[in-house]
């Protein structure tokens, strides 16, 4: 298919989790459901299931196992790995790297940014986030709200070496002031939270989303459900909790035991959150210890945790795009889509092997002969 050709899609065009049409066209980089007459090249794709390009709702362009990687070549490789895995929209949940140049690249995924992590002094990975004390939290939130794309990222808990375990980073009054500052600036707030103890104060303060959320309890699940708080479980990263525990060794045995328990209970925790009605979105936590391009694995993990396949897929597809204010398969929208050989609402593994990937109207993973 040439850049000025037309792509004609026939089969099951899934414009929503429970809504489909029989045909769609991609012309001039955009999707339309109106029949197109074209004198040039037309590529026909039949017997297909078509979904919007996937969303990785927790990803870090500019971080790798060594820390910050701010050269453009490394950032581009990370974005390309995500694209190869089917991700066409990224919520970059905290990065110290300026990736605005990616917005000018039609061959890379779109990014929704949360600015830089905001952490308590000496309570996060060194050099990754802004480190402040509670009295300066709201001011830093205002700064990062201006740098992001409608999101701010806090570090809600981290190991406290004096306690020897995970502990909350912020007092409740500082959190309330910070949430008010973010919301007044038109930004939503999310927070890294592994454990239990930070969650009630964050939710009561008005948090919009919880990352990882492995410490949810029946009480905080109910509170989050009542407040409409979303979660992004990052189960492919929670799989690493035993490794984190091993790294703590004999120096922090309480922390190690805690992380192993959170790992053991991870599927039950996510399943209970789903049963309570919390919005759940798929994110890999790529960057750092997690490789990019693993969104299909995260969707499958959500199914293992008890989400129906359609719900797990929705959390990385139609629902995730709506949550982030980005279009899906809408008339006139930019054509970011995956063409599949089977119904992903029945078997989510279908998203791991697309027949065709189209980004901004251009084929990036071609089918044979295209």
What tens digit of pLDDT does each residue of 87-114 get? 999 999 999 999 999 999 999 999 999 9
- Does position 368 have pLDDT exceeding 80, yes or no? no
Q: Do residues 254 and 164 touch, judged by C-beta distance below 8 A?
A: yes
In this structure, the answer to whether residues 147 and 194 fall within a common structural domain is yes
Instruction: Please state the domain count of the chain.
Output: 2
pLDDT-based confidence at residue 254 (cuts at 50, 70, 90)? very high
C-alpha to C-alpha distances, 63 to 92, 96, 146, 289, 370, nearest whole angstrom: 11, 8, 21, 9, 35
Q: Residue 76 domain-assigned?
A: yes
pLDDT on residue 369: 43
pLDDT-based confidence at residue 40 (cuts at 50, 70, 90)? confident
- Beta-bridged to residue 7, according to DSSP, are 26, 43
CA distance 302 to 312: 6
In this structure, the answer to whether residues 300 and 180 fall within a common structural domain is yes
pLDDT on residue 289: 87
Nearest to 79 by CA among 243, 223, 292, 357: 292
For residue 351, what are the domain limits? 6-52+328-365
CA distance 97 to 101: 11
CA distance 84 to 54: 11
Element (H, E) at 132: strand 130-132
Nearest to 356 by CA among 343, 370, 342: 370
CATH number at residue 25: 2.30.40.10
Q: What is the pLDDT of residues 41-93, one digit of tens each?
A: 889 999 999 999 999 999 999 999 888 998 999 999 999 999 999 999 999 99
In this structure, the answer to whether residues 202 and 188 fall within a common structural domain is yes
In this structure, the answer to whether residues 37 and 101 fall within a common structural domain is no
CA distance 231 to 283: 10
CA distance 91 to 93: 6
């Amino acid at each position: 298919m040439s850049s000025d050709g037309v792509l004609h899609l026939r089969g099951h065009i899934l414009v929503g989790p429970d809504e489909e049409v029989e045909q769609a066209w991609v012309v001039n980089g955009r999707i339309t459901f109106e029949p197109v007459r074209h004198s040039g090249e037309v590529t026909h794709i039949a017997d297909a299931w078509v979904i919007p390009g996937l969303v990785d709702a927790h990803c870090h362009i500019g971080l790798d196992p060594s820390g910050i990687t701010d050269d453009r070549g490394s950032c581009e490789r990370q974005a390309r790995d995500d694209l190869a895995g089917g991700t066409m929209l990224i919520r970059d949940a905290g990065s110290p790297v300026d990736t605005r140049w990616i917005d000018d690249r039609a061959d890379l995924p779109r990014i929704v940014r949360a600015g830089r992590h905001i952490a308590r002094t000496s309570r996060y990975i060194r050099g990754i986030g802004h480190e402040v004390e509670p009295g300066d939290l709201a001011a830093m939130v205002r700064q990062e709200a201006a740098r992001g794309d409608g999101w701010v990222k806090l570090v809600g808990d981290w190991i406290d070496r004096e306690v020897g375990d995970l502990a909350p980073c912020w007092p409740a009054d500082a959190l309330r002031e910070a949430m008010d500052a973010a919301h007044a600036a038109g930004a939503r707030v999310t927070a890294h939270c592994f454990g239990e103890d930070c969650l009630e104060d964050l939710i009561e303060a008005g948090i919009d989303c919880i990352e990882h959320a492995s410490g949810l309890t029946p009480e905080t699940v109910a509170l989050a459900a009542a407040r409409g708080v979303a979660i992004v479980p990052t189960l492919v990263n929670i799989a690493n909790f035993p490794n984190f525990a091993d790294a703590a060794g004999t120096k922090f045995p309480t922390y190690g035991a805690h992380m192993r328990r959170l790992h053991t209970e991870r599927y039950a925790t996510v399943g209970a959150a789903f049963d309570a009605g919390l919005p759940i979105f798929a994110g890999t936590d790529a960057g750092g210890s997690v490789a990019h391009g693993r969104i299909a694995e995260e969707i499958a993990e959500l199914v293992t945790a008890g989400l129906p396949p359609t719900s797990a897929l929705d959390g990385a597809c139609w629902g995730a795009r709506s949550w982030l204010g980005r279009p899906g398969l809408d008339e006139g929208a930019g054509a970011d889509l995956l063409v599949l050989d089977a119904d992903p609402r029945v078997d989510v593994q279908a998203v791991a092997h697309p027949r065709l990937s189209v980004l901004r109207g251009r084929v990036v993973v071609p089918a044979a002969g295209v």
